A = this chain, B = another copy of it.
Amino acid sequence: MTIPIKDPRRKRELLKLLQKLGLADLSAVNWSLLNLALTHPSISSTDNYQQLEFIGDAVVRLASAELLLEIYPHLPVGEFAAIRSILVSDRFLAEIAEQYGFEMYLSMTPNVRVDKYGQVSRLADAFEAVLGALYESTKNMDLVRPWLDPILAEKATQVHADPARQNYKDALQEWSQKKYKLLPTYKVQQNEVRDNENERFMAEVWLKNQLLGKGKGATKKASQQAAAKDAFYQVVADSTSRNQESSEINKIS
């Protein structure tokens, strides 16, 4: 399943994109796969980026996990998950794709091109598909990590340095979805008696009938993030209580 490049202009276009990414050795690139990765389903319902996107979605998860383990070998698992959930998010991947002008290289019909609402989604999909094509070209990370690592590392460092950016809510959601096929729910209350503004809201996070964690914050959102972080440390990361907690949840679900 590939799309051979017949038009020499297309090959030059794709070459330009890879040079922008900063790939030094292009001899290993499978150009037909790369062309497929940059073909939107509106062009062909069978030969398009959708299958490679599945590969790429796993490639970016793997590259992120490897990088995080290399730069933060002792990071608690909750922070690891919180940072990775940002690195693999559609929003961040679309942002990278936009910076490299992927929109220009993606074959799509004119009515799709003008659809601004779908842009983040299609940029993220195409970006993942390109990662898939590059991985499949060599069956390892040789064409991926050399240029992607610095981008992921910069974002990871930003997120790690500023705890408010760490998205414990997303990470907790990913965890509960994986383990129990359920999403956590949040209950937020105004805190009438408080010492300072950072305790204005109190949030609880629940999974079915199980209280996972509690948190306070100056805003509703901040209190939810604090509760999600608490949940991570209570249930997910805390090694001793871990099995009892998961047993509880197994019993009720």
Q: A139 — which chain B residues lie within 8 A by C-beta?
A: 140-141
- B177 and A239 contacting across the interface, CB-CB below 8 Å: no
Q: In the complex the two chains form, what is the Cα distance from A199 to B140 in whole Å?
A: 48
Does chain B have a CB within 8 A of A62? Answer: yes
A242 in contact (CB, < 8 A): yes
By the criterion CB–CB under 8 Å, are A65 and B58 in contact?
Answer: yes
Query: Would B242 and A41 count as touching, CB distance under 8 A?
Result: yes
Q: Which A residues have a C-beta under 8 Å from some C-beta of B?
A: 1, 40-42, 44-46, 48, 50-51, 54-55, 57-59, 61-62, 64-66, 68-69, 73-75, 77, 80-81, 84, 90, 112, 115, 117-118, 121-122, 132, 135-136, 139-141, 170, 173-174, 177-179, 181-183, 237-240, 242-244, 246-247, 250-251
Known contacts A69-B1, A179-B121, A183-B183; A239/B55 CB under 8 A: no
The dominant DSSP class at the A interface is helix
Contacts A/B (CB < 8 Å), 28 sampled: A1-B74, A41-B242, A42-B239, A42-B240, A42-B242, A45-B240, A46-B74, A48-B239, A54-B65, A54-B80, A54-B81, A54-B84, A57-B61, A58-B65, A59-B62, A62-B135, A90-B178, A90-B179, A112-B243, A115-B244, A117-B243, A118-B242, A118-B250, A121-B250, A122-B243, A139-B141, A177-B177, A177-B183
